[in-house]
Chain A
Amino acid sequence: MATAAQAIEMEKILYLTELQGLPVFDLREREIGRVKDAAVVPLIHRSRIDRYLVGGERAWLTVRYEQVKRIGLDGIFLLDEKLTPYHDDEYMLRLVRDLLDQQIIDAQGRKVVRVTDVTFEIRDEGLNQTLHVLEVDIGLRAIFRRLFQGILPPRLIRRLQEKIPPNSIRWEFVNIIEPDPQRRLRLNVSLEWLKSLHPADLADILEEMTATDRQAFLQQLDSELVADVLPEVDPKLQASMLEHLEASKAADIIEEMEPDQAADILAEMDRQISEEILRQMEVEPQAEVRELMRYEEDTAGGLMTTRFLALPSGASVRDAIEALRAEPELADTINTIFLVDENRRPVGAVPLGKLFLVPEDTSLKELTLPTVVTVPITASRKEVVDLFDKYNIFTLPVVDQEGRLEGVITADDVISVMHRG
């Protein structure tokens, strides 16, 4: 795997393990102290090392980036000597204290990893040289450097490490996990990268975080995003994730979800808490979810959703298009329009694609599939799966004792069920 660092010559590369303990020299090349840590101030510049923390004879001193004439394996050579004592502040991300050995999110690899070392690029900027964070290193090569840091000379470590393949994450893809919201602001931790991830990948990342970090993270995400991610998360975690949020926020999230998924999660939760959340929901969604919660998990009723499109058998293609326009969220998931008689019994099923092929005033009855397979609401999980398999259906209508259409089961739910069983 080629990393960014490999494109740059080794003379322009420095590792955090090499930076630690690097001697700092004044104008007369006398050693003032050794580097203890280095800090980035993300609000000012995302990758440039803004200050070096040097351990002097007594207190620590701060060297600002513009005071460095030259930096390399032999040490840091200063341009001017007006050094101030070190004061901590919330806007600094200190690499040794806050990044090394801590967990970060790899937005590209979509997982949570622990930082073993950091790679810098040495840049010439006029009178001085600056360090820019290039990538975060994990894996064996970084472990090797950490283990022998201070024991073997740096140049020897560099030569020996060549044999081990590198494993790094570019700084652009690194996302700090910071539970404190104020500190997040000060460290300019943004969530832009989240938007490019698939909910299933984001769910993987959430699963790998610790509980505290996860809850803090969830607080920052908007309800719509959480509603997409939650069904993808390990079932064991789903309930506990919602339980630790405020009821009103949890209600918002539940409202954004498909009612059958919402019902599944609420059923797993503590009764009192799920009640609280339901009460915070708006009337209609609340009723839908409560309705579905009545059914046993492993039956057709427990698997179905109440969001489907059903039209009277006399309806035309135009009616179908208008009905869909009235409920646009349905367009994301449906692939079949059902036709029902006056008693709401299914009499036809029209694959959505057929609507494209005929003029708008065509009666839907002409487009229906020859037979409509249904399943009773009390049927077992196994019966449902068998039906899907036997009749090659994508959407299975669920009917009550009188044969009236109550809901539908979609193929994706069945795949989850089969995977579990």
Chain B
Amino acid sequence: MKAKKLARIRAGLAGFLAVLGPGFITAMVDNDAGGIYTYSEAGARFGYVPLWSLIPITLILIVTQEMCARMGAVTGKGLSDLIREEFGLRATFLILAALLLTNLTNIMANFAGVASSLELFNISRYITVPLSAVAVWLLVVKGTYSRVEKVFLGASAVYICYCISAFLVKPNWKLALEHTVKPTWVGDPAYVTILIGLVGTSVAPWMQFYLQASIVEKGITAEDYVLSRLEVIIGCVAMSVIAFFIIVACAGAIWSVQPMAIRDAADAALALKPFGKYAYLLFAIGLFNASLFAATIQPLSTAYTVCEGLGFESGLDKSFREAPIFYGIITLTIFVSVVVILLPGFPLVRMILFSQVLNGVLLPFVLIFMLQLVNKHRIMGKWTNTPFYNLVSWATVITLIALTLVLTYMTLREL
């Protein structure tokens, strides 16, 4: 009897580990350079106050990610495939063109993160950016998906850096936990921007495509889905936990001393210096890791999504000649990002801001497509949304659209 029980537990754990990957990785990559900048800014400028938004953000993230995972498991098709089949080529083309542009700016933002994190150690961006671009390109092109995934899962562990940094800063934990549950309003337009930025940076359009494609690639079907759903939820929670620690670290280190707007994420790392060499180092390493991690996944995801939707050959198992557009997109997005970032006097911070705006603009369209697809009985069978779930989802979409419209307006005014 005991042996059987053990076997079942192992099967459960083994089963879980077998599906581990997509939800977790996607959520981790969410904390890229743009994310870190936003969380740092939130903590540095407003202290512990913005923490309350993390819980609603986690819920929104879970809702949107879960729908994509469900669609991937039940239909066995990626999101761009579904959009193509149900809405036709033109709609697909427009969404993908927008996605390509948006992702390109996201990738640029991440190479910017690599540059600024290593500049803290006085290594010139003219060395770090090209080198890391080559490293990223090699990892993507020469590795197999499972090897790449293993590297990423390992890289996810580095995010612990932030937690450690936060502890080293010795913040006011009581205040932090209070603000996590108490929604507070500050009558400062910058506060609204920050709140919107926090939402916008957490639910990026490319993540929906990436997650669904990963679920399909992993071969997860409707039967295994329940385990997958759990993994997705855990990933989202993990992302918020990391965000929490980043905000707290900056709140304790910067805001408690002297609230200020930071020019870029590396500034936040610098501000941690007085709290000990390790706080500062870990934060910088965390930024470098997150930027590199995201800079590897995003070109790959973009290439897969575009090729899948428009019907071009894709896949790392194919050679350059067999899948020219696939490899072309990967190479081009990395190359263009590097060139643009290295232009003298390039405004890195504006780049990061701009990439979030684009995310915000594209997101509602993607979400609307998703909601229409996930409710079609013909493709989802019994797995369509329940009425309650639909209500929650549509409320989320409308809130997001309203928020991102406000953010877009405000950012364009700033630019």
Contact = CB atoms under 8 A, between A and B. Distances in A.
B89 A210 contact: no
A3 B76 CA distance: 33
A143 B89 contact: yes
Interface string A139-180: 100010011000000000000000000000000000000000
Interface in A104-118: 113-114, 116
A211 B221 contact: yes
B90 A146 contact: yes
B216 to A, nearest CB: 8
B143 interface: no
Given A138-B311, A139-B311, A210 B90 contact: no
Contacts of B85: 101-102
A139 B311 CA distance: 7
Nearest to A210: B76
B113 to A, nearest CB: 35
Given A101-B84, A240-B219, A116 B76 contact: no
Contact of A236 (B90, B219, B221, B311): B219
A210 B311 contact: no
Interface of A: 100-102, 113-114, 116, 138-139, 143, 146-147, 210-212, 236-237, 240
Contacts of A236: 219
Interface in B76-135: 76-77, 84-85, 88-90, 93
Nearest to A209: B76
Contacts of A100: 88
A116 B93 CA distance: 12
A188 B132 CA distance: 55
Contact of B311 (A116, A211, A237, A240): A116
Contact of A146 (B75, B76, B89): B89
Interface in B52-92: 75-77, 84-85, 88-90
Given A101-B89, A236-B219, A237-B219, A113 B311 contact: yes
23 contacts: A100-B88, A101-B85, A101-B88, A101-B89, A113-B311, A114-B84, A114-B311, A116-B89, A116-B311, A139-B311, A143-B89, A143-B311, A146-B89, A147-B89, A147-B93, A210-B76, A211-B76, A211-B221, A212-B76, A236-B219, A237-B219, A240-B219, A240-B221
A212 B89 CA distance: 23
A236 B221 CA distance: 13
Contact of A143 (B75, B76, B219, B310): B310
A138 B84 CA distance: 13
Interface in B4-28: none
Interface of B: 75-77, 84-85, 88-90, 93, 219, 221, 310-311
Nearest to A214: B76
Contacts of B93: 143, 146-147
B289 to A, nearest CB: 30
Contacts of A212: 76
Contacts of A101: 84-85, 88-89
A143 B310 CA distance: 8
Contacts of A210: 75-77
B3 to A, nearest CB: 14
A13 B90 CA distance: 23
A102 B311 CA distance: 10
A58 B93 CA distance: 32
Nearest to B77: A210
A139 B312 CA distance: 7
Contacts of B221: 211, 240
Contacts of B90: 146-147
A139 B325 CA distance: 11
Contacts of A114: 84, 311
Given A143-B93, A237-B219, 4 more contacts: A100-B88, A114-B311, A143-B310, A146-B90
A-B pairs, top 5 by smallest CB distance, nearest first, are A210-B76, A114-B311, A211-B76, A146-B89, A101-B84
Nearest to B7: A271
Nearest to B216: A210
A240 B93 CA distance: 34
A101 to B, nearest CB: 5
A143 B97 CA distance: 13
Nearest to B381: A212
A240 B18 CA distance: 14
A268 to B, nearest CB: 12
Contacts of A240: 219, 221
A116 B311 CA distance: 8
A256 B311 CA distance: 36
A378 to B, nearest CB: 25
Contacts of B77: 210
A100 B87 CA distance: 11
B271 to A, nearest CB: 48
Contacts of A147: 89-90, 93
Contacts of A113: 311
Contacts of B75: 210
B413 to A, nearest CB: 34
- For B77, B85, B90, B311, the residue with the greatest tally of chain A CB atoms inside 10 Å of its CB is B311
Nearest to B85: A101
A262 to B, nearest CB: 21
B318 to A, nearest CB: 11
